[in-house]
Every structure is written in C-alpha cells, then in structure tokens.
Chains A and B, each alone.
Chain A
C-alpha cells in the first residue's frame, strides 16, 4: 500500500533527533576519561539505568515485529514476548552481580578476569562483534524500510540518518549519552504504548459487516504495481484490512461494544469472529500476482498458540524442535548479549545492578503486555496493510488520529536510534579496548583509549550504514533471532561455567566461545529458513533438521568447555 506521510511525523522525529544530538553534545562538552567513555564512570543512577535497559533492549523487532506478528498471526507473537522477557530472569539471578564485580568495560573483561589470556579476549571480542552485527543489520534495514512509509524519504536516507545520528551520539559522550538516549527512548516507548492501549480499550470492538472481496496485487517486471488489474494510484490501492465480522452474542443488536476493561477486551475478542487475510502468490509473464483473500476466523483460534508456529498444530517433530529451540535461545540469549551486559558497568555497585534490572524487567514486562493489546488492536482496527506486517502498529495509531500516527512513527524510528547506539557502543569497546589495547597489546594513554574507542565507533557507524543499504531487500526480522542464538551459544556456557565451575580453564572458555559461535552460525547458514528466505532455495535442500540452533549448540558450548578444560592444566586458583 502507498502510505500518506505526515509532515508532523517528520517534524517530531527531526525534533527528537536534534534534541538527542544536542543533549549528547552537551554531555560531551567536558574532557572524558576511558572510564567515562566506556562505562559512564559507573555514575548512572539505577533507575535511569533500568529504563535505559528497556531502551537498549526493545528494538524495532520488539516493537513493530511483535505487534505485526500478533496482528497477522494472533497469539504466537506473544510467545516471543514471553521468551524475550524470561531472559531477564537469567540476567538478574545469575549473571548481573558477578559480571558487575568481574569486569570493567566489556564482556571480554569479565570472562577473562581470572586468566589474563589473549585467546579469551580475542574470542570474546569477535563473538561480541558477530552478535552485535547480526543485531545491527535488522535495526539498520528496519530504519530504511520504515522511513519510506513513515516519513516519505528513500530507504538510503533512513539508513544514513540513523547511522549519522547514532555515530554522533556515541562519539560525543560514549556511554553517558547512549544511556540518556536509551532512557528517553524507553520512557517514550512505554508511555505512548500505554496511551495507545488506553485508546484501544476505550474504542472497544467494532463490527464491520460489509462483505469483503479478495484483492490482487500485481508487481510487473518493470516494478510498476497493479491493483485488481488497474494501475495503482493513491485512490486505487489495496483496501486496508483487519475487521470484526461478528461480535459475541452478548452484544446482539449492537455494532460496537463500547469501552472495555483489559480482560473484558480479550474475552470479547475471543468470542468474536475476525476477518484475517491470507496471501497466495502466482508468477506468470505479466508479473507476480499476490491474491489476498478474506477468511473468517474465530477469535478463540487467534488467541491460542499455533498461528505462526505451525509445528504446534501440525505436530511435525522438526517444527516442534524448532519452536523449543527458539524458546531456549530467547531464554538464554538475553543474558549473553554484549550490548545489554555492558550496561552493568554504568552503575556503581552490585546492589545498583540488581535494582536497575528489576526496573528494567518492570518496564519491559509492561511493554510486552501493552504490545499484546497493540497487536490485537491492530488486528481489528480496519487499518492494516495486508502487504506489510511491520506497519501494523503505526497504522493502528493512524486509525485513531494522524497526530498519534506521527508520534508512533517518530517513536518507531527513535527505537532504532536507542538500540543501535548500544550496539555501536558494545562494538567500540570490543574493537578498541579488547582487540587493539588488550589483544594487540598497543599501549595507550587514557586519552588515547577514548580516541581509539571513538574512531572505532565512527568505523562501526559506517559499516552499519553500508550493511543497512546492502541488505535492503532481505527479510531481516528473523536476524534478531539469530543474534540471540549465537549470543547464547557463544557466551552463555563460558559465563555460567566461569561462575560455577572452578576447574574451568582459559582454553576451555576460548574454545567454548569459538565453537559455540561457529556451530550456531554454521547451523543457521545451513538451515531451511536461510535457504528459503536468504538464498531463495527450496527448504528441502537444507541439511539441518530445524532452523533454530540453540537447542543443540548451547549444550555443545557447555560440552566443549568441560572437555577442553579437563584436557588442559588446572588453573592456579582452583
């Protein structure tokens, strides 16, 4: 669908970008030490850090991806939310305090604290870069693909705006400005999702009994688009979808429920009949035809698992293992993400680390409950674009007012800023502090360490922009899932065993990180999902039995660590 862009959205976003860059410049006006740049001098208040956790963690995938998945497939998007949140339990109960006590700037510091091994530093720095890169690509591509419908600018403009803004944020005041940008973004995101949820509940459910005909979109080889056989224009485009065909019997004779309480909303939706749209593709000489057909479905079916994870209903073993593997990776992945873990160095002590995690869990948990309402609200808003799941949340906002659309669009965009600055910060530490200073052994003064970190940040910013443009036509939503799998497989075994098994050796840690990373990455590259969505090959050609590697490669990391540790000399302190 062609989307009208609103000048207000551009104005709000421009004001936000100008605001955060101004704030960063102000925060960066003083001379910085390495402590300031990499860890905000451990001076961030735990509450600010907690909200910044939310701003760091809640990526465009969380906001737009989950809303879209719920709007189009129902309950299963919420399973992602549950998994994403559950990972914070591992972070709080197992990882947070030791990591705070062991490290200074990076994940490699913590994993290497006992050993002073260049091998560990190298392995962990590489895994930090790989994980951060996989997380980064969907953010940057998301920025590009969002900017066209939201702000009316071309893909590359979105990528460059985000890349430049983020590089400025990081270069001016490092972790200090990154933290404040994430704090602002986290607050705005939760606040406006709450407002939108309030509007959804206030509107209740509305019946729409107009009969719906299938619609066909044709993309010709020259790129022109036909809708139902005629040239697409602003006035002749696909009709927005997502309606309720019948309200529950208890509302007989009414066309709208009126305002509903939160649980009432869910139960009313369960008893309604919802029109969802299926897409089927056909290719001929004229072009690619996609037919969108309405299907009436019971609300109860949309609110139970199995709409997206087909394995839950078909019972195929490989699909079920794929689901289990994803849920394991989400659970284990959060506490292994370098850009999240470095946030523990910005607070003063273990108690502050704990408190900020509790605040983070509260903010993120509330956000995920709100996204359930946003997704279901979008499903029944009558405003969905059948061709673009990512537009579900902004279009839902549009069904209320253009001002809310402008705000949600601007927030969706700033979502990218907050997360990407965290990723660039993690990468900057891995390159400058781990690789240049500790692995290559370049001796630097404190001032030079800061400069080296900033140069690394600029380089990573440029890499991020290049990747965002390069991967333009790539389905990137599942890359975040990859990042969780790789992070969990490479880093979690090393983190956990270092804390709980005194016999762990430096060779064991380095081997576990490298094998975990290589195995999960290799598995992903040979999986059916990648064959189909990345290489454009048949799923059946893929050698791996299921697509999410975590179920196998996380235990593999533990196994490698134990075997290699037992084969190498006992560490001196054990």
Chain B
C-alpha cells in the first residue's frame, strides 16, 4: 500500500476566519485580565461592556461560521 498523500488541510478561508476569531476572543480575555474595570463600563447605555462583548463573541462565532459556510459552498 503506498502512503496516502499529505493530509487535507483546512482551507485558507477557514484559517483567515480562525485568526479573526482568535483576535476577538483573545482580545476580550486580555481586556478582562488587564483591565477588569473597563469591561464594567457602559458605553452603550444600559448594558455593560462585559455582557455586550460576551454576547458579541457568541454572535460573532455564528456569523463567522455562516460566512465560512457560504465561502466554502459547492466545494
């Protein structure tokens, strides 16, 4: 049996989106670690930044996932 070819890699689109999310997630966690006082601020009126960013990270995961699905459709 000949050795199978090099394993399939994740797509370029996938990797690009992965790094976008790493930046968002890492950025938020770094902010929480470095300046927990800042995430208690309420720049958008009622709700503090910690909640907005947390929900934003969940929404962003879904949004990027949909972008990826569309970008890879038909392959």
- Cβ contact within 8 Å between B5 and A573: yes
- Total interface residues in chain B, CB < 8 Å: 45
A279 smallest CB distance to B (angstroms): 24
- Cβ contact within 8 Å between B14 and A94: yes
Q: Mark A43-77, 1 if CB is under 8 A from B, else 0.
A: 00000000000000000000000000000000100
- Cβ contact within 8 Å between B54 and A300: no
Q: Which B residues fall within an 8 A CB radius of A?
A: 1, 3-11, 14-15, 17-18, 21, 25, 28-29, 32-33, 36, 39-40, 42, 45-48, 50-51, 54-55, 57-59, 61-62, 64-66, 68-69, 72-73, 75
The yes or no answer to A369 lying at the interface (CB within 8 A) is yes
* A571 to B, closest residue via Cβ: B3
Given contacts A98-B10, A266-B51, A355-B69, 9 further A-B contacts (CB under 8 A): A94-B15, A270-B42, A300-B48, A304-B48, A312-B32, A358-B68, A358-B69, A361-B61, A498-B7
A93-B17, A305-B50, A365-B62 as given contacts; A354 in contact with B72, CB under 8 Å: yes
List, in ascending order, chain B residues with CB within 8 A of A502's CB. 6
- Cβ contact within 8 Å between A92 and B8: no
Which one of B7, B29, B47, B59 contacts A263 once the chains associate, using CB atoms below 8 Å?
B47
Stretch at the interface among A82-90, A235-243, A388-396: A82-90
A79-B54, A327-B29, A361-B65 as given contacts; A305 in contact with B36, CB under 8 Å: yes
A93-B18, A101-B8, A499-B10 as given contacts; A320 in contact with B33, CB under 8 Å: yes
- Cβ contact within 8 Å between A500 and B9: yes
A101 CA to B14 CA, complexed, in Å: 16
A98 CA to B58 CA, complexed, in Å: 24
Q: Mark A275-318, 1 if CB is under 8 A from B, else 0.
A: 00000000000000000000000001001111000001100000
- Cβ contact within 8 Å between B33 and A86: no
- Cβ contact within 8 Å between B65 and A113: no
Residue among A82, A93, A94, A365 facing the most chain B CB atoms (10 A cut-off): A93
Q: Is the interface of A mostly helix, strand, loop or mixed?
A: helix
Q: Is the interface of B mostly helix, strand, loop or mixed?
A: helix
List, in ascending order, chain A residues with CB within 8 A of B57's CB. 82, 85-86
List, in ascending order, chain B residues with CB within 8 A of A78's CB. 50-51, 54
A264-B46, A304-B40 as given contacts; A85 in contact with B7, CB under 8 Å: no
The yes or no answer to A351 lying at the interface (CB within 8 A) is yes
A98 CA to B36 CA, complexed, in Å: 38
Q: List, sorted by A's number, 13 A–B pairs whose CB atoms are closer than 8 Å.
A: A75-B51, A79-B32, A86-B57, A89-B61, A98-B8, A98-B10, A266-B47, A303-B50, A304-B50, A312-B33, A358-B66, A499-B10, A573-B3
List, in ascending order, chain B residues with CB within 8 A of A305's CB. 32, 36, 39, 50
